[in-house]
Amino acid sequence: MNDKLIPEANDKAVQARLARLGTLPVDTAGLETRLRSLVADSVTTPVASPWRRIWRPVTALAASIAVVVAVGLIIMSLGDTPVSASPLKLAELHADVSHMGQMATPITSIAEANRILAQDWQNNPALPAVPAAQLHACCIHDFMERKIACLLLRDGDTPLTLVVGHARDFRSTVGQRVERQGRTYNLHEVNGLRMVMTEHQGRYLCLMGAVSAERLLAIAQELQF
Amino acid sequence: MVERNTELRLTTAQAARFQRLALPQLAVLLRTAGYLTHNGPQAEDLVQETMIKALRFMDRYTEGTDIKAWLLTILRRTHLDAIRANKHNAALLAVEQRDVPDRPMDEAGLFAPPWPHPQQLLERFGDQEIIAALQALPEEIRWTLLLVDVEQLDLATAAAILEVPEGTVKSRTHRGRGMLREALHPLAQQRGWIQAEESSHE
């Protein structure tokens, strides 16, 4: 026996045996259910106590004044300087929106989506109708420190996200420029996720999903404002 | 030990990010916690607490970096906190850390006798016996083997999780493997799988 080889062979044998422990099945079902429930509970608005119910109008008024002042300051400081919507951050947003599941508000029509968004966002940009895709859910996100409306769609089995913001807040990042029916689109791709950006009637729009650029452009062209 | 969910306030974006990035790592965390504690409910508690911390600090995680390593770091710190919270365990941990200094690689063989046919011999032990032997190892050695050999992380990642230099991980890995065989050696002899004269453990 070669004494020098024995410790190495012993080492490798232990390594291989321990590696097998890493392949043993683990039952995660119970804990996963609890964690999903905990997450869902944590994003739900808590029920207010009676004391808080009394003070709510007062605090709401104070908060409203604070919000109006803050919004005014923000508008004054930002002026008309929209930020360039980052494709990388939009890709992260798409991933988040696609995985929201039960936390997003399910919708059946654009009118319903606009109504829901208006409840939490005064002067929200109106969502366009999307005839070619199936409506799924909507929500409002904080994106690059500004609000943006997100519409989760499905093109067959593929999730698509349409984000709509104010053109005074966002502008298209320059990418591959495509002209269709008199409108300019900027195409981007991040890790296989394609996105088309455009501006229309004071709104910034970006449609994204793991489909071809042509398919995205076709859906984008069918948007009804 | 488990924090109450009423303390958590999440935006839908934070929650969605957690579900997309952290939840797929649940099996790795639960397996590691299971091998650490050898106790199902305790392992679930440990992982639940880890995940609640991950939820709370999800904004600090940089997308594109290793989420598994990030979560395992939280798991390790949570586990150490739990040990330190228990005075008896904390004393044991202190003794372990004092008694098992980091030795150079070439001294690894001091911990265990070389076996003539290690692979065949190790195959004869059941998974639970290997896990029980892991349990007998000092905390930091056990963590090193779990990261490097069970989860097969590279040395740099394991070193970052364990907050020690790569060289320390390397030497702990070698010593840990030797110590694991040493823990199994009496059982192998008792079962007649290995004779005293077959090994150099004299």
Read off the CATH number of the domain in which B145 is found.
1.10.10.10
Residues composing chain A: 225
Total count of domains within chain B? 2
Weakly modelled stretches of chain B, pLDDT under 50: 1-6, 98-99, 101-109, 201-202
Residues B191 and B120 in one domain: yes
Alpha-carbon distance of A202 to A125, in angstroms, equals 8
B55 located within any domain: yes
Which one of B3, B9, B10, B12 makes the best mutation probe of the A interface by having the most chain A beta carbons within 10 Å? Answer: B12
Q: Which chain B residues have a beta carbon less than 8 Å from that of A98?
A: 20
A15 located within any domain: no
Per the CB < 8 A criterion, the answer to whether B194 and B188 are in contact is yes
Nearest residue of B to residue A33 by CA position?
B23
Residues A95 and A60 in one domain: no
CB count in 10 Å sphere of residue A105? 17
Total count of domains within chain A? 2
A18/B63 Cβ within 8 A: no
- Rounded to 5 degrees, φ, ψ at B124 are -80, -20
Residue B98 parent element (H or E): helix B87-99
Alpha-carbon distance of B190 to A202, in angstroms, equals 81
A30/B44 Cβ within 8 A: yes
Residues A111 and A161 in one domain: yes
A187 located within any domain: yes
Contact residues for A34 (Cβ-Cβ < 8 A; gap 6+): B48
pLDDT means per 10 residues in chain A (225 residues)? 57 94 89 89 62 69 81 62 88 85 77 88 89 81 89 90 93 88 90 92 94 92 86
- pLDDT value, residue B90: 56
Which of A42, A92, A96 lies closest to B10 in CB terms?
Answer: A42
Residues B79 and B120 in one domain: no
Per the CB < 8 A criterion, the answer to whether B19 and B44 are in contact is no
B102 located within any domain: no
CATH of the domain at B61: 1.10.1740.10
Question: Looking at CA atoms only, how far is residue B87 from chain A in angstroms?
Answer: 28
- pLDDT value, residue B63: 84
- What's the token pair of residue A144? 């690059």
Q: Which chain A residues have a beta carbon less than 8 Å from that of B15?
A: 39-40, 42-43, 100, 103
Residues A179 and A167 in one domain: yes
Residues A165 and A215 in one domain: yes
- Rounded to 5 degrees, φ, ψ at A193 are -90, 125
Residues A203 and A110 in one domain: yes
Question: Looking at CA atoms only, how far is residue B49 from chain A in angstroms?
Answer: 10
B177 located within any domain: yes
Residues A107 and A67 in one domain: no
Which one of B53, B85, B117 terminates a domain?
B85
Residues composing chain B: 202
B151/A22 Cβ within 8 A: yes
| B3 DSSP assignment | P
| B187 DSSP assignment | H
Residues B113 and B194 in one domain: yes
A24/B31 Cβ within 8 A: yes
Residues A61 and A146 in one domain: no
B90 located within any domain: no
CB count in 10 Å sphere of residue A102? 11
Residues A125 and A66 in one domain: no
- pLDDT value, residue B10: 81
Residues A115 and A196 in one domain: yes
A101/B19 Cβ within 8 A: yes
Which of B10, B131, B178 lies closest to A39 in CB terms?
Answer: B10
Query: For the residues of chain A, what is the DSSP string, one character each?
Result: --TTHHHHHHHHHHHHHHHHHTTS----HHHHHHHHHHHHHHTSPPPPPHHHHHHHHHHHHHHHHHHHHHHHHHHHHHTT-PEEPPHHHHHHHHHHHHT-GGGSEE-SSHHHHHHHHHHH-TTPPPPPB-TTSEEEEEEEEEETTEEEEEEEEEETTEEEEEEEEETTTEEPPP-EEEEETTEEEEEEEETTEEEEEEEETTEEEEEEESS-HHHHHHHHHT-B-
Q: Which chain A residues have a beta carbon less than 8 Å from that of B5?
A: 38, 41-42
Residues B146 and B178 in one domain: yes
Contact residues for B151 (Cβ-Cβ < 8 A; gap 6+): A22, B28, B32, B68, B72
CATH of the domain at A184: 3.30.200.100
A166 located within any domain: yes
* Beta bridge pairs of residue A206: A163, A197
A141/B31 Cβ within 8 A: no
Residues A75 and A86 in one domain: no
A43 located within any domain: no
Residues A128 and A183 in one domain: yes
B99 located within any domain: no
Range of the structural domain that residue A68 is part of: 49-79
Per the CB < 8 A criterion, the answer to whether B8 and B55 are in contact is yes
Which of B18, B31, B149 lies closest to A26 in CB terms?
Answer: B31
At residue B25's C-alpha, the angle toward residues B23 and B28, to 5°, is 140
B13 located within any domain: yes
B96 located within any domain: no
Nearest residue of B to residue A97 by CA position?
B16
* Beta-carbon contacts below 8 Å between A and B: 139
Nearest residue of B to residue A100 by CA position?
B16
Range of the structural domain that residue B41 is part of: 9-85
B35/A32 Cβ within 8 A: no
Which one of B150, B170, B172, B175 makes the best mutation probe of the A interface by having the most chain A beta carbons within 10 Å? Answer: B150
Per the CB < 8 A criterion, the answer to whether B145 and B134 are in contact is yes
A131 located within any domain: yes
Per the CB < 8 A criterion, the answer to whether B73 and B160 are in contact is yes
Question: Residue B30's closest CA among A64, A34, A206?
Answer: A34
Residues B51 and B133 in one domain: no
Residues B118 and B169 in one domain: yes
A43/B114 Cβ within 8 A: no
Residues B114 and B183 in one domain: yes
Residues B54 and B115 in one domain: no
Which one of A36, A59, A79 terminates a domain?
A79
Owner of token pair 């508000």: A105
- pLDDT value, residue B143: 96
Residues A187 and A129 in one domain: yes
* Beta bridge pairs of residue A207: A162, A196
Residues B76 and B15 in one domain: yes
Residues B57 and B26 in one domain: yes
Residues B151 and B114 in one domain: yes
A92/B30 Cβ within 8 A: no
B46 located within any domain: yes
B181/A10 Cβ within 8 A: yes
Question: Residue B117's closest CA among B187, B197, B196, B198?
Answer: B198
Residues B133 and B168 in one domain: yes
Per the CB < 8 A criterion, the answer to whether A48 and A56 are in contact is yes
